[in-house]
């Protein structure tokens, strides 16, 4: 049993992993929902290497209590993850209906819907608009390899724990809280055969580097189920909006940029802040300008790029970028 503390080091959430950053957003969202009186906030351990997020709470709590509260928050929020389709490929009319349903439901359902698409941004072919809306740039799955984004976004947060690990008397059965505690407080081992969203850079595996047939289950790496549950909820913190780029209307989102492909950046800040403040930093118009956010306590930023690996898409590991070089390398 851990000692009750007001600050908790989230050892599992490494700063160069997009999945970990989205999981951090999901953790704050779940705790704010389940235990708002705790006033959850986060700072980064800039003076306590290696760099990790530090969860700051209003009162001393044990790690197990935090994981249990997060599990309760996830269970409730995940009820909104019912989409009735497998892929994020809505027609304009279907998108408008889905967005209206989210708006009418309000709260988290509205935030989730606004993070997926806009009926004002559509795909094009040979310069002509199609009746298919553009998906959030965070969507990497469109049916390739039987991987479907909305199917996973519906199932993952509603799956409390991964299947048992091992067999017989040696089998390990994790509770939902234990699953989240493992993702938050321990280095990831990726032992779970559950769905993922390809946000973890470890999934960007080149076939040439594999020791066997990549289509065989025994050669496939597992996932960190707790992190994917949290990240599925954390996605709601990144609402998309149409923006004009050249002659085309494309989707933008906080922290995102379209320069030689899509990249996503997030700040590393010093003082404890809550989810709304983090969202404000991500949406700041000067996020990628030289030292523009120094006065807001931002030390530096981390950036990932969306890449293609064969027929699949992935995100790279993040790197610390000098402000002047963001989006140009």
pLDDT given at position 220: 62
Residue 89 has pLDDT above 60, yes or no: yes
CA distance 54 to 29: 15
Please return the burial class of 299, using the count of CB atoms within 10 Å of its CB with bins 0-12, 13-18 and 19+: middle
Helix (H, G, I), strand (E, B) or coil at 78: helix
What's the whole-number mean pLDDT along residues 111-132?
Answer: 92
Q: What is the mean predicted confidence (pLDDT) over 126-152? A: 92
pLDDT digits (tens, 9 = 90+) for 4-63: 889 999 999 999 999 999 999 999 999 999 999 999 999 999 999 999 999 999 999 999
Distance CA(321)–CA(43), nearest Å, equals 19
Q: pLDDT at position 322, please?
A: 62
The pTM (predicted TM-score) of the whole model is 0.93
Residue 205 confidence class, pLDDT cut points 50, 70, 90? low
| The predicted structure's pLDDT at residue 326 | 42
Q: What average pLDDT does the structure give for the chain?
A: 91
* Residue 2 reports pLDDT greater than 80: no
Kindly tell me if the per-residue pLDDT of 135 is higher than 80: yes
Which residues are within 8 A (CB) of 202 and not within 5 positions of it... i.e. 6 or more apart? Answer: 190, 221
Q: How many CB atoms lie within 10 A of CB 321?
A: 18
What pLDDT, on the 0 to 100 scale, is given for residue 210?
Answer: 55
pLDDT at 116: 98
Q: What is the pLDDT of residue 207?
A: 47
pLDDT digits (tens, 9 = 90+) for 167-201: 777 778 899 999 999 999 999 999 999 999 999 99
Average pLDDT of span 215-219: 53
pLDDT-based confidence at 3, cuts 50/70/90? confident
- Residue-level pLDDT at 327: 40
pLDDT exceeds cutoff 90 at 212: no
**Quick one: which of 129, 154, 147, 182 has its CA closest to 10?**
182
Q: Where are the alpha helices (DSSP H) in the chain?
A: 18-34, 63-77, 92-105, 107-114, 149-155, 176-185, 225-234, 275-283
Contact yes or no for 269/51 (Cβ under 8 A): no
């Amino acid at each position: 049993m851990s000692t009750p503390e007001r600050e908790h080091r989230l050892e599992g959430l490494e700063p160069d992993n997009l999945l970990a950053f989205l999981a951090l957003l999901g953790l704050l969202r779940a705790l704010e929902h389940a235990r708002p009186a705790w006033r959850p906030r986060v700072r980064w351990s800039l003076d306590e290497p290696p760099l990790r997020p530090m969860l700051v709470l209003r009162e001393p709590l044990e790690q197990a209590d935090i994981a249990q509260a997060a599990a309760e928050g996830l269970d409730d929020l995940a009820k909104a993850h019912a989409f009735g389709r497998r892929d994020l490929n809505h027609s304009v009319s279907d998108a408008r209906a889905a967005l209206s349903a989210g708006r009418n439901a309000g709260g988290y359902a509205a935030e989730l819907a606004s993070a997926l698409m806009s009926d004002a941004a559509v795909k094009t072919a040979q310069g002509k608009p199609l009746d298919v809306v553009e998906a959030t740039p965070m969507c990497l799955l469109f049916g390739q390899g039987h991987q479907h984004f909305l199917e996973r976004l519906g199932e993952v947060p509603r799956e409390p724990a991964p299947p048992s690990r091992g067999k017989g008397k040696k089998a390990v059965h994790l509770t939902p809280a234990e699953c989240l505690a493992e993702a938050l407080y321990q280095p990831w081992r990726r032992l779970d055969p559950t769905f993922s969203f390809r946000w973890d850079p470890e999934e960007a595996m080149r076939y040439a580097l594999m020791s066997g047939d990549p289509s065989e289950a025994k050669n496939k790496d597992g996932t960190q189920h707790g992190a994917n549950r949290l990240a599925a909820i954390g996605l709601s913190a990144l609402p998309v909006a149409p923006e004009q780029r050249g002659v085309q209307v494309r989707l933008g989102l906080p922290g995102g940029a379209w320069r030689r492909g899509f990249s996503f950046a997030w700040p590393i800040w010093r003082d404890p802040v809550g989810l709304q403040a983090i969202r404000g930093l991500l949406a700041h118009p000067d996020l990628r300008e030289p030292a523009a956010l120094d006065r807001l306590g931002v030390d530096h930023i981390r950036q990932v790029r969306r890449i293609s690996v064969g027929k699949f898409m992935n995100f790279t590991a993040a790197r610390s970028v000098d402000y002047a070089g963001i989006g140009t390398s």
